[in-house]
Amino acid sequence: MKVFKMNDYDWVCAKSEKQAKEFYKSEVGFNDEEINEEFVGEVSLQDEMLVEVDELPHEEKMQVQRMKKYAGTLFAYKTFEWVINHENISKPCIISSTEY
User: Do residues 53 and 67 make contact, with C-beta atoms less than 8 angstroms apart?
Assistant: yes
pLDDT at 99 exceeding the cut of 90: no
CA-based nearest residue to 54, from 38, 39, 69:
69
Across the chain, the runs of DSSP E, i.e. the strands, are 2-5, 10-14, 41-43, 48-52, 67-70, 73-79, 93-97
Model pLDDT for residues 33-61, shown as the tens digit of each residue: 999 999 999 999 999 999 999 999 988 88
**Average pLDDT value for residue range 79-89:** 97
- Max Cα-Cα span within the chain: 46
pTM of the entire structure?
0.90
